[in-house]
Each structure stands twice: as structure tokens, then as C-alpha cells.
Amino acid sequence: MSLVAGGVVRAAFGEGFSILHETVKNVIGQAIMFKSVFEDLSATLESLESLVKEIRRLNLALDLPEKEIERLAKLMMEGAKMVDKCSKIQPCNIFSKAYYALKIKELNEAIEKFCKVDLQAQIGRTTLQTLVGVKDIRERMNNQNSDVRMRFGLRTPSVSRPPDYTVGLDLPLKELKMELKKKEEQVLLLTALGGCGKTTLVKMLCWDDEIKGIYGDNIFFVNVSKHPNLKVIAKNLCSPAHEIQNDDDAIYQLEQHLNQIASNDSNPILMILDDVWPESESTIDQFKFNIPDYKIVVTSRTAFPKFKSTYNLKPLDHEDAMSLFCRSASFKDMISCFSKEKIEKIVRGCGGLPIALKVIGGSLYGKDVAVWQSTLMRWSDDGHSIFKSDKDVLATLEKSLEFSDERSILKEYFMDLGSFPEDQRIPATALIDMWTEIHEPNQNDRPSYPFEQPGANNRKGRLIVDISGNNLPEWWTEQEQQHINLNWWRNNLPKWWMKQKQQRINARLLSISTDESFSSSWCNIHAPKAEALVLNFQTRNYTLPEFLEKMVELKVIIITNYGFFPAELSNFQLLKSLPNLKRIRLEKVSIPSLCNAPIPLRSVKKISLFMCNIGQAFGNSTIQVSDSLPSLMEINIDYCNDLVELPTWLCEVLSLEKLSITNCHKLSALPEGIGNLVNLEVLRFRSCTELSELPKSIRSLHKLRILDISDCLSIIELPKHIGELHNLEELHMKKCLKLHKQLPPSTVDLKQLKLVVCDEERTKLWEPIKESFSGLKVMVPQEDINLNWLKK
């Protein structure tokens, strides 16, 4: 019925316009007394004729019934009748002439308003709805890992583009293509030192026009790394209909998928296995399938002798190395005071490695002569390269990260990046949570180095432990580290670990990463000094370790699920045993109910929930907030799709200063009790598209400084008494498409308001009252709508 009604509306719209247009044309020469208003109306309709046809065509194609179009259609039909009446009015009837002339003028203005305001609002709303829809598709693709294009046989290269600027790789690319075209061997091994550009070269290979002409869309890219997860790789490449059970099943599913491609496509298949470590050499054999014209290109720092077809990527020659370094360091700014000969010494010391040239060059960008001179002393080695192995590369790059004593805290920040999995994005808010609590101002003289190995001369670096070997490291019992990262793969515990009744770890930051096969069988770890705990996992069910309740110094806990579906989180009640816990960040987990079994978190100041299922946790129940969350100051909720309404108990968190709820598209109502949060300073509801109004009680938030309702598509008007927010400094209301009514009169009472961020249409609401404010800036941010986030 809705589709039928929509079709009727659109037909009426086109018909109404046509009838009105024809009627005006017919009577414009007859009704002389209305000539001027008819001419204006005719000109308006003439300018809209092509636009109306396009609107009608697009609406028919999209099945979009619109109330605005229905209203205009009725207006045009009535206007046609009115124009017809005008042609029959006698010239002596002055009163009728004046009345209908005014009506024709109003009709013309209404049509113009529709085109300038309503139609633009429709376009903006449709654009945002489209972007929301695309974003939703993106989330579903990420959550479910369903490559829709591949499922329907529309495969695209699964490798991102190489950097826009490269040097010295044109000849290697040509030679690599020649090696690939040889028929003798199925596997082509590409080897080089770390940082030589192997990954960049194979990306150039994948996007090369000649190679794409041979393989078409049958090019696949896999980052293997040290501990490949075959189940995840298979899901990424072929999106099987059922759950993959184990590694053997993963390889079987992948082989079936590639065979299906080969049978339905005349193009051969190219598989790129990037960054293969010696520990994962056997993975190459698992990808060797008996498929005609199927080739595999492997990149590795290690030359595996069993593969006959090998291409060795050499470092850059001197000319290319100089070019890359000067671009990275912006040498043109220093050429007047730093000779080319000195620059060449630094470049030779980099051994032709692109990564070294970029890192060192970038570290010198914008620096004064003294810094360049110091670098020359440290990096030049009698004009000879100091790189002979991968260890030399890492040890040398370490120098580029050296800071003076007063800035050594920056090295601590850099080292903290290692607490998160390789090849995954690191949320800036997660880092801020860690840094705020564990890096105090008086600790900036603590020495630490990012690439060091454990040794007797340095006890305060970052240590990465792969729990896979059976030999207990000699340094384990005596080492005292600031950072320890435990990477726990394939659920295998070494013998030395099992023999120890309790493993003591003296680290301030402890990170534990587990893969999809982890069974939540935790060892008994004792980490009495840990102030930050980062847990990274991929399983559907995750149990917090029992040893957590003994980490009494813990201030920050960050729990991140890198799997495809939200994970069920167990043992959440252990957090109540942590007296110093101040910050909790959870990503992509289903949180157990906080209502049926409330967990006292008396020291917690900030809770962040990203892509979590929180409907159960925020159920309709009353909890004693004064007992459970007496110190809570900040709540951040982002992309939690099952959040429909805020619980009433949230309005009892009187200590709350910041409440940010963003991208929760199902949130439709706010409790009236939100006005009880009298200490609130920042309130955000950005991109909550179903939220239709702000509660009247918001007038009580007298400490509020920032209010953000940007992209709240359903909000119609601002609260009547918004002027009572006497300390409001910033108001963000960009793309509130339904908010086009006049601002409440009390708005002029916002005497502290300094910044309004909105779109061009909303600026018109502020023009009549802008002079009532002192120094108010109404800013329209530049739009940057693109699909760059689709790049892998």
C-alpha cells in the first residue's frame, strides 16, 4: 500500500506541475491585469521544468514517497484552479484582483521556497541516509566478514594500492614480472632485508596493468606474519557459508573456493603470501593447490632453500637513496648550510634501505643545523653501510628514536604501541586512557628503548614474549620490565610455564594477546605492579583471568575483541576487586547485566564502550549508583547498535561530567531525569539519527559548556528554555536537517556562547540574533564526503 501511495503522490506531483504550467501559458495573454505576477510564476515554472522531470524519474526509480512532494503537488493543483479563475475576473473587480494577485504571488514564493529549502533538505537528508546506509553496510561487512562481491562472483583485488611515491622499484618490478611469467615453478620467493620494500614491490605487482590484464580480479593478498591464523585467512578470502572448524577445514574451504574460481573464470590465479617468517614456512606448502596456472609469490626476509625460483631485492643505489632521503627530510631547506657531501655520509650509513631513509629523513624534517650535525656524527660510519643483518637494521633504527632526557617520555609512548596486535588500528582513546594513568610527569627521565633485547645492561625496556618455546628464558626470573607483551598462539603452553606454580611479572604495563583457538585456560600470573592491562582476543566467548582480582595496582583495563562477532564476556565481576581501577574500555563485547548483579566500581572514573552489545547491561532495573559508581566522571558509548533508550539509573550518576553517545542510530529517547546531572560539562549525541528531541530538563545543566547534536537527523527544535544554559560555550548542530524552525527566544540568553558549528542552512537561523552576542562565531565546517575508508 505504501508503494502504491508513493506512486500516486509522484504521479500527482508531475501532473500538478504540468497542469499548472499549461494553465499559466494559456491565460498569461488573456488576464492582462495579472500579467506581471503570471510572468514571474511562468518564469519560475520554466526554470523548474527539467528539474521536475528528473525528480519524477528518480523518485519512480527509487520508490521514495515524500510528504514534501505530496504537499507541493496539492499546492500546484489548487494553483492551477486559481489561475483559471483569474482569467475570468472582470477588470472592474478591484478587490478580487488584489486578492488573487496576492495569492498568485504566494504560490510563486511557495514553489521557490520548496526548491531552495525543502528540496535541498531532502537532498541533504537523502545523502546522509545514503552515507548512514553505506556505513551500516561497512559495519556488517566488518562484523560478519562477508565479502558480498566475492559471494556473487564479483571479486576485486584484495590488496591496497602501493604508496604514491616510490623510487628504485621500476627495474625490480620488471624483473619480478619476468620471473613470474616463467612456467617452471609454482612458487616465486621474493627475499630481502627488513625495510627493503618487499611489500611495496608486491603491491606494485598486483596493481600493474600488465599483471591485472593476465590475472584480472583473481589476485589475492594474505599477510602471513609469524603466527598465521588459517581460519581467519580462509574467512577473509572465501567467506564460507558455515563456520570453519580447524586449520585443515580452512585449507579445504580455500582450495574449493579457488577451484570454483578457476572453473568459472578463464584467467589464472595469483596468490601473494606476504611477510612469511621461518616459523610459518610450512604455510607456503598448505597454499600449494593443484590448479592450472595458479601462482604463488612469497615475500620473506629468509631465503628458503627448497624454493628454486627466488628473486633477491637489493637495497637502493646511491642516486635513488639520495632522492628518497632528501624528499623525506626536505633537504632543500638545509642546502645552504649543510653540504651535499655530509648528506651523502648519512645516506650511505642507511645502507640503501627505504625504511631507514624514510625514518631518519623524517626525523630531521624541519630541524635546525645542530640536529643534522648530531645525526651525521651518529649515523655516518666512515662512509660505509652499517647494515649486515636484520638485527643491524633494528639496532640502527633505534638511534632514530633517541630523545633528550627531558623528552624521553615520548619513547615510553612509542613503546606502548606494541601492546596492540600487529596490522590492527589502534584507537587513540585507548592510548590516551593508558597514558593518562600510567605516565606521570616525574617519570620522564626513565630510560627505555623500543627495539632492545633483554640483557644485563638494560632492565627497563619493552619485552615481547611468544609463549611457544619449551625453554625457560634465563632472564625471566630476574628481569624487571616496564612493558611485557605475551602473545599466546594456538593454545600451546610451554613446559617451563606449566612447571611454575606462579609466574611473577614485574611490569607496569601487561599486554596479553590470544588467537581464535584460545580456550580461556589461564595460567596463574602474578603481576602485583601492573597499572595497565591490555587484553586482545578473537574468540566468541572470553573469560577474564582469575589472576585479575589480585592486580591491586591496576588503573586501566582495555579489552578488545578482534573477531568478527561480539564476544560474550565472563568473569566481569572480578573488576570489583580492583580498588585503584579508574578506566575501563571495552570493544566488540556483549556485556553481562549490571543490573541483576551490580558490580561496585567505586574508583572508576571513565567507561568507554565501542561496538558493544549493551542492551542487557543497561536493562530496566534500579541500581544503587551511589554505591556502585560513586566516582564515575565520563561515559563514552559509540556504535552500540542495540541501545534504544538510556536507563533511568544513569541520571543518578551525579558525579558525571562528560556523557558522549555517538553513532547509536536506534537511540530514540532520553530520560527526563537527565537534568539531574548537574555537574555535566560535555554532552554529545552526535549521529544519533532517531533521536527526535532533547528533554526539557536539560535547562538544569547550568555547568554545561559543550552541547553536540550534529547529524541528529530527527531533531525538530531546540528546547524552549535552552537559554538557561548560562555556561554554554559551544553548540554543534551540523546537519540537523529537520531543525529549521526559528530558534527559541531564550537563545539570546546564552551570553557565554562563543562558537556555533552548523551547516549553511542552519546559519540562517542565527542571522537574526547574531548581534545579540559578543564575539559569537558561527562556523560552517568544510565537508569532506568520500569513500576513502573503503580502502583496505
Burial (CB < 10 A; 0-12, 13-18, 19+), residue 269, is buried
SS3 content of the chain, % helix, strand, coil (to 5): 45, 15, 45
Name the 3-class secondary structure at 556: strand
pLDDT score, position 645? 85
Which uninterrupted H or E stretch holds 261?
helix 247-264
Residues 558-577 as b/e (b if ≥16 CB within 10 A, e otherwise) read bbbbbbbebbbbebbebbee
Long-range contact set of residues 467-474: C-beta below 8 Å, sequence gap at least 24: 467/492, 467/493, 467/494, 467/497, 468/492, 468/494, 469/494, 470/494, 470/495, 470/496, 471/496, 472/496, 472/497, 472/499, 472/500
Whole-angstrom distance, CA of residue 295 vs CA of residue 286: 13
HEC assignment per residue over 15-39: HHHHHHHHHHHHHCCCCHHHHHHHH
Cell readout for 28 is 498569461
Residues 6+ apart with CB under 8 A from 717: 693, 739, 741, 744
* Contact yes or no for 605/582 (Cβ under 8 A): yes
Whole-angstrom distance, CA of residue 143 vs CA of residue 649: 30
Whole-angstrom distance, CA of residue 543 vs CA of residue 321: 50
Whole-angstrom distance, CA of residue 238 vs CA of residue 256: 9
Residues 6+ apart with CB under 8 A from 642: 613, 614, 615, 666
Q: What is the pTM of this model?
A: 0.61
Whole-angstrom distance, CA of residue 281 vs CA of residue 298: 10
For residue 327, report the phi and psi dihedrals to the nearest 5 degrees: -70, -40
Whole-angstrom distance, CA of residue 393 vs CA of residue 414: 18
Cell readout for 388 is 649486515
Which uninterrupted H or E stretch holds 187?
strand 187-191
What are the Cα distances from residue 303, in Å, to 146, 187, 309, 360, 606?
35, 13, 11, 28, 49
Whole-angstrom distance, CA of residue 770 vs CA of residue 750: 11
Name the 3-class secondary structure at 608: strand
Q: If we measure between CA atoms, which residue out of 34, 46, 14 comes closest to residue 84?
A: 34
Q: If we measure between CA atoms, which residue out of 367, 464, 459, 445 comes closest to residue 406?
A: 445
* Contact yes or no for 486/510 (Cβ under 8 A): yes
Cell readout for 682 is 560535555
- Which CATH superfamily includes the segment(s) 170-312? P-loop containing nucleotide triphosphate hydrolases (3.40.50.300)
Up-side HSE of residue 728: CA atoms within 13 Å toward CB?
A: 27
Whole-angstrom distance, CA of residue 85 vs CA of residue 73: 19
- On the question of a common fold for 170-312 and 623-792, the answer reads no
pLDDT score, position 484? 82
Cell readout for 339 is 653540504
Whole-angstrom distance, CA of residue 449 vs CA of residue 462: 7
Residues 6+ apart with CB under 8 A from 747: 718, 722, 723, 769
First CA to last CA across the chain, in angstroms? 42
The architecture in CATH of the region 623-792 reads Alpha-Beta Horseshoe (3.80)
Cell readout for 538 is 578473537
Domain edges within the chain:
2-141, 170-312, 318-400, 405-590, 623-792
* Contact yes or no for 235/244 (Cβ under 8 A): yes
User: What residues are paired with 512 via a beta bridge?
Assistant: 486, 535
What strand order describes the sheet that includes 310-312?
Answer: 219-225, 269-276, 294-300, 187-191, 310-312
With a cut of 50, which residues of the chain have pLDDT below it?
1-12, 61-65, 141-157, 381-384, 386, 389-390, 399-407, 441-462, 468-472, 474-479, 595-597, 786-792
Long-range contact set of residues 434-443: C-beta below 8 Å, sequence gap at least 24: 434/509, 434/532, 434/534, 434/556, 434/558, 436/583, 437/531, 437/532, 437/555, 437/556, 437/582, 437/583, 438/508, 438/509, 438/531, 438/532, 438/555, 438/556, 439/409, 439/412, 439/413, 443/409, 443/412
For residue 585, report the phi and psi dihedrals to the nearest 5 degrees: -130, 125
Determine how many CB atoms are found less than 10 A away from the CB of residue 125: 15
Whole-angstrom distance, CA of residue 475 vs CA of residue 454: 7
